[in-house]
Amino acid sequence: MHLRLVALLPLAVALAACSESRNSTGMISQRIRQALHSDRVQELDLAKLTTFGWAYFYAFKPGTTREEVCKFIGAGRNTCGRIIRIERSPDDHMFLIFGLNGQLTHVELHAVENGIFDFEFLDGGHPREKSVFKVRRSSSASGKDTIHLEPR
C-alpha cells in the first residue's frame, strides 16, 4: 500500500462530501480549462486553482476502474463506494486525487480535453511545491488539439 494514504480509512466518510467523482467534470478540471483558454498560456500553477489543503496529487489514466483506484488508496469496498461513485472513469476523463498528511482531501473527474498530466506519478504522488506545469499543445493528423501538462 502507498505510505501516504495509510490513514485514509478513518476519514473516508468525511471525504465523501468533497468527492466530485460522479459522471461529470469536476471543479478543478473546469478551472484548468479556464486557465488554459488562451493559446499564449505557457504554464499552469495547479496550487492556485484549489481552495482545499493538499500536499500531493495523483492522476489516473482514462478508463481506470473504481477497484483499481480503491486498491491504490487502500480503501475497502464499502468505503470506496462512498469515495469513488462510478464504476470506471470515462474514456475522456481521469480521476484526480489530492491528499494531505496521508489523508484524501479531494477526488474528482478531470476532462482529458482540459489537459493531460503527461508524466509518471511516484508512489508518494506529485508534490504541491512542484505543481507548476509546462503547457505543451499538439495537434494530431486528424486536427484534434491536445494539451499536455508536464512538470516544469
Alpha-carbon gap, residue 44 to 123, rounded angstroms: 23
Residue at grid coordinates 509518471: 120
Q: How far apart, in Å, are the Cα atoms of 38 and each of 35, 135, 143? A: 8, 11, 18
pLDDT tens digit string along 30-58? Answer: 999 999 988 889 999 999 999 999 999 99
pTM of the model: 0.83
Which residues are CB-contacts of 143 (< 8 A; sequence separation ≥ 6)?
A: none
Statement: residue 96 has pLDDT above 90: yes
Q: How far apart, in Å, are the Cα atoms of 59 and each of 38, 115, 133, 143? A: 24, 11, 14, 26
Domain ranges (residues) in the chain: 3-151
The identity of residue 17, as a single letter, is A
Nearest to 21 by CA among 64, 56, 52, 51: 64
pLDDT at 17: 39
pLDDT, averaged across the chain? 85
Contact 116, 146 (CB under 8 A): yes
CA dihedral 65, 67, 68, 70 (to 10 degrees): 120
